[in-house]
Amino acid sequence: MKKIIIVLFLLAGFSPSFAQQDAQYTQYMYNTMTINPGYTGTSGTTSILGIYRAQWVGLDGAPKTGSFSIQTPVSINGQGLGLSIINDQIGPTKETAISVNYSYPIQLSEDVKLSLGLSAVGNFWEVDYTKLNVHEGNDMMLTGVESKFSPNIGAGAYLHSDKWYAGISVPRFLETEFYDDVKVSVATRKKHFYAMGGYVFELSDAVKFKPAAMIKGVSGSPLAVDLSANFLLDEKLTLGAAYRWDAAISAMAGFQISEGLNIGYAYDFDTQKLGKYNSGSHEVFLRFDLFPKSKYRMITPRFF
């Protein structure tokens, strides 16, 4: 069903309106810094991560997201710095978000840390009206390309030990409206709230089990709830499944190719009516952990 997504974007009247929301990931547990700046640097090593997601494959204009991030501890006590670049394309719209993150840890006990994070964000937004399928003749307001820039700030708290984690965050505090040249609103960036948590059970010397959950809230939309369960086998192979409440069922797999290289894949089966018109969603990631024997690294690597 080509151009279904384009049709969904085009509303009645002279100007379309778009709701630009945060990019969605099934394997968010590998990309936690982009959701919660408090996570920055807590893995104990310098990590470089790339993720690509193609959602609702088979629909013209369906979301496509590419994400690149790098994070590292910068002090003995675990302060962290990070940089992320996310490019999100949906129909005729494209958004690039560049974030610089900083986190500061507070040692609450021998095993528990609270990491507080801040992020400075620059959003570059663009809509290409030539990609719209206009049925009402030539509308001069639906031509050309609109480009806008918007700064933002975010914050998060990340509480963790070697066995569990919990976090709350707001990656962007400022709600932003983008206007065209005649002062008509063409896009709105809403504030998102995230809460997440997980626990690692050591079932044996060779098997670890991690149930986890993430809740996302945004004004005007129902709560999004992601539930996942992953098994880590021999510190090498990760197998898991996830359920996005009333939206999708997912299968995940990852493999530790070497001490510093990890690769993974996820497939989403859409459980909504739109699933009849697409072939599901695909997501892949590649992560490099540099200097894995760094003095900042924890003796027992965490499964998150």
What would you measure as the largest C-alpha separation in the chain, in angstroms?
68
Rounded Cα–Cα distance for residues 247 and 275 (Å)? 9
Which pLDDT does position 91 carry in this prediction?
A: 83
CA torsion angle for 43, 206, 231, 199 (degrees, to 10)? -50
Distance from first CA to last CA of the chain, Å, rounded? 38
Degrees (nearest 5) of the Cα angle 83, 88, 93? 135
Rounded Cα–Cα distance for residues 301 and 252 (Å)? 20
| 3-class secondary structure, 254 | strand
What letter would DSSP give residue 172? -
Tens digits of per-residue pLDDT, 105-118?
A: 999 999 999 999 99
pLDDT tens digits, the chain, 304 residues: what are they?
344 444 444 333 334 445 556 788 999 988 899 999 999 999 889 999 999 999 989 888 889 999 999 999 999 888 999 999 999 998 888 899 999 999 999 999 999 999 999 999 999 988 887 777 666 656 555 667 788 899 999 999 999 998 999 999 999 998 877 655 555 555 677 789 999 999 999 999 999 999 999 999 987 778 889 999 999 999 999 999 999 998 899 999 999 999 889 999 999 999 988 878 888 999 999 999 986 554 444 434 457 7
Helix (H) and strand (E) counts for the chain?
1, 18
Which pLDDT does position 208 carry in this prediction?
A: 95
Tens digits of per-residue pLDDT, 265-279?
A: 999 999 988 878 888
| 3-class secondary structure, 261 | strand
Adjacent-strand bridge partners of 63: none
Which pLDDT does position 58 carry in this prediction?
A: 85
What pTM, to 2 d.p., does this model score?
Answer: 0.85
The tokens for 288 are 């490099």
